[in-house]
A and B are shown apart, each in its own frame.
Chain A
Amino acid sequence: MSSLSRDAFERRLFGALRPLVIGFLLLICLFPFYYMVLLSFRPLDAVLQDPGALWPDLGDIDFGTYRDVLASQSDGGQGFLSFIKNSFLVAIGTVVLTLLVSIPGAYAVSRLEFFGRRQISAVFLGVYFFPAILLAIPLFVFFTRIEQRGTLTGLLVVYVAQVAAVSIYMLRNYFDTIPASLEEAAEIDGCTRIQAMWHISLPLAMPAIASNALFIFMIAWNEFLFALLFLVENRDKWTVSLGLSQLAGSIEVPTTVLMAGSVILTLPIIVLFFLSERWLAGGLTAGAEKG
C-alpha cells in the first residue's frame, strides 16, 4: 500500500463521513426543539395513542394548549402570562442595573490607573468559579432574615451582583480597543474625563454594550437556581423557568400544555439569539485566539 492510496482512502472516508456527522449534529441540536413545538400543538390523547408521530395531523392542530398555559389560574389556566411579566421585569431590571454599574466600572478598569485595578478584575472573575450553590446558602439565609426572600427585588440584586463582573470584563475588552488618543484630543478641547467618556468612548462602545445587554438578558431570563430558592413559595412571583419546572412535576397539568409553556420560555431566547448571533458569538470567543 502506498501512502497515496491511504491518502485517497482517508479523503474519501472523511468526505463521506462529513455530511453524516453534520446531519447528526443538526438532528441532535434541533430535533428536541422541533419536538417541543410539535407536542405543544398536539392534543394529549393523540400523543399517548401515537407517540411516534413526527408531524402533526393537520386536522388535529390544537392551539388550546397555549390558551390553557397563558390564562390566569382563576380562568382555569396556568398563569404563564404573569410568569412572563415577572421574567421580563427581572431580566430587564437586571440588564439596566448591571449596565449602570458595569459601564463606569469597565471604563475605569480599562482606562484609569488606580491602585488595585488588576486585583479587582481578578477578584471579580473569581466569582465565576465559585459553586453557585455555595453562594445560595448565605443569600438564602440573608434574604430570609431581612424578609426580602420571595420578592423580585431580592432576586434582582442577586442577579446584578452575579453578572456585573462578567459584564465589566466583556466591556473592558472593548474599551481597550478604543484608542485613548480620541479622548485625549477631547480633553485638550476642554472636556473633563467624565465628559470625554460620555461623549467619545460611550457612543463608540455602543455595539459592545448592546451585545452585552442581550447576553445579560439571556442569563437572567434562563436563570433557575436562585429563582427556585427565592420565589418557590410564592406562585404570584414565579418566573417562567420556575413555573415550568414546578408544574412539570405535577400530574394534573398535561404534558402538551407544559410544552406550550416550554415554547414560550424558549422562543424569546432563540429569537434574540438568531438576531444577534454574530455579535454574541464574537463576544463569547473574544480573546480565544490567544489560547
Chain B
Amino acid sequence: MTISGSAPAGATVEAPDQVPRDRKPQRGRSARARDDRRTGYLLISPTAVIVFAMVILPILWTVSLAFQNVRLLNLRRTGFIGDYSLDNFEKVLTSPGFVDALVTTLVYSVCGTACAIGLGLVAALALRQPFRGRGLVRACMLVPYVAPVVAAAFVWTTMLNPQFGVVNHYGTSLLGWDEPIAFLSSGEPISVFGLDLHVSKSLATVVLFEGWRSFPFAFLFLTARLQAIPETLEEAAIVDGATPTQRFRYIVLPQLLPTIAVLTVLRFIWTFNNFDDIYLLTGGGSGTQVVAVRVYDYLINRGDIGAAAAQALVLAAILAVLVAVYLKLFGRSEEVA
C-alpha cells in the first residue's frame, strides 16, 4: 500500500473551514493573540520543516531534474542548477510505449475506480439491514484494505497460478475451462463477441485486484452515509407503495450521489498514481505497464533519472488536468445535491 493510497479518507471530505470560535473582546486580547501566534508557529514548525524538506523541496527538485540530463552514473555532479533543456520531455513523449502506458493507466484507473465503488455500494446495501453478527461481517469486509499489499499480491499470484493455483484448478475441473488461464502473464486481448477491447487479460486481472483491494474504502464511506439517511423518508415511500428498486432509485441513490462523487475523485487519484499493485502482480508486463511502473523502470533499470522525472511530471500534470475538469463538470452540481 502506498502511503498516499491509504490516507484516511475523512481527510478530504470535510470542508477545512470550521466555525470560528466566538471570542468576546477582552483586555489584553492583542497580547494574548500575539502569544497564540508565537506558540502556534512554534508548535507547527517541526512538521512544517520536515514536510518542507522531505516533500515540497523534493517536488521542486523533480521539476529541476526533469530539465537536466541526469543519469545514475553522473549523479554526483548534478545539482539544482544545471544545463536545462527540454530533451527529456521530447525523449519521453516520443518514446515507443509512452502513449500505450498512458492509455493503460487511464483504463486501469477508470475501471478500477468503477469496480471499487460498484462493489462497495453493493456491499453497503447488502449489509444495511441489521442481523446477528453484522458488525463482524462488516469488519471482515475491511480486511483486503488493511492487509499488506505485498502479502495480498503474493497470495493472489499463487491462487491464479496456471500450474497449481486453486482458481485454475477449480476453473478447469468445475467450470469446464478448456485450459488454465495465465491471468497475470497473458497479453492476449479480451474480445467480447468478436469485438477487440484492447484490454489484455492481465490488465483485466489487475483491475479486478484493485477493485477487490479498494472496495472496502468505498464500503466504509457509503455505509456511513446510508446510516445518516433519515428513516422517515423511506417509511413515507413505503406507505406510498414504492418498491425496493424505486426507493433505491429515487430516495437512497440521490442521497448517496455526493459521497459517490467524492469517492470517485479520491479513488481515481490514488489508482492513477498506483505503483505497488501492478509492480507486484505483473511487474508491468503483458499490457499492464502503467506510467508509475514505467517511471520506476526508467529510474532503476535504465538509470535515466531525468527521463523518469519528466515522466512523473507528465503523470502529475495529466492527473491535475483530469481532476480539474471533473471538478469543473461535477463540482457545482455536487453543491446543489
A interface vs B, CB < 8 Å?
Answer: 3-4, 6-7, 10-11, 14, 18, 21-22, 25-26, 28-30, 32-33, 35-36, 39, 47-48, 51-52, 54, 100-102, 104-105, 107-109, 112-115, 117-118, 120-125, 127-142, 144-145, 157-166, 168-170, 173, 176, 180, 193-194, 215, 218-219, 221-226, 229, 240-242, 244-245, 248, 255, 258-259, 262, 265-266, 269-270, 273-274, 277, 281, 283-291
Q: Which residue of B lies closest to A168 (CB)?
A: B47
In the complex, the chain A residue whose C-beta lies closest to that of B242 is A7
Candidates B39, B41, B75, B137; contact of A141 at CB < 8 Å: B75
- Asked if B10 and A286 sit within 8 Å, CB to CB, the answer is yes
From B90-98, B157-165, B183-191, B198-206, the one touching the partner chain is: B157-165
| Neighbouring B residues of A39 by C-beta, 8 Å | 158
CA distance A224 to B1 in the complex (A): 7
Question: Which B residues are within 8 Å of any A CB, using their own CB?
Answer: 1-18, 21, 33, 35-37, 39-44, 46-48, 50-51, 53-59, 61-62, 65, 70, 75-76, 119, 122-123, 126-127, 129, 137-144, 146-159, 163-166, 169-170, 173, 212, 216-217, 220-221, 223-225, 228, 241, 243-245, 258-259, 262, 269, 272-273, 275-276, 280, 292, 295-296, 299-300, 305, 308-309, 312-313, 315-316, 319, 323
Nearest chain-A residue to B140 (Cβ)?
A29
Whole-angstrom CA separation of A158 from B54 in the bound complex:
6
- Assess whether A274 is in contact with B139, with CB atoms less than 8 Å apart: yes
The residue in chain B whose Cβ has the minimal distance to the Cβ of A249 is B283
Min CB distance A139 to B, Å, is 6
Residue of A218, A244, A290 ringed by the most chain B CB atoms within 10 A: A290
The reply to whether A105 and B308 form a contact with Cβ atoms under 8 Å apart is: no
Q: Which residues of B have CB within 8 Å of A123?
A: 51, 56
Which chain A residues lie closer than 8 Å to B148 at the CB level?
A: 221-222, 224, 240-241, 265-266, 269
Query: Is the Cβ of A120 less than 8 Å from the Cβ of B44?
Result: yes
Selected contact of B280 from candidates A29, A122, A176, A224, CB within 8 Å: A224
Q: Are B4 and A118 in contact (CB under 8 A)?
A: no
CB of B154 within 8 A of CB of A21, answer no
Q: A35-B159, A288-B259 are in contact. Are A223 and B41 (CB under 8 A)?
A: no
Q: Tally the A-B contacts, defined by beta carbons under 8 Å.
A: 349
- What are 17 A-B contacts with C-beta separation under 8 Å? A52-B169, A101-B47, A120-B44, A131-B273, A131-B319, A133-B312, A141-B61, A145-B75, A161-B53, A223-B1, A242-B150, A262-B151, A269-B148, A281-B220, A283-B10, A285-B224, A291-B13
Q: What is the CA–CA distance of A194 and B38 in the complex, to the nearest angstrom?
A: 12
| A28, closest chain B residue (CB) | B212
When distances are taken between beta carbons in the complex, the residues of chain B under 8 Å from A145 are: 75-76
A163–B3 contact, CB under 8 A? Answer: yes
Q: How far is the CB of B240 from chain A (nearest CB, A)?
A: 10
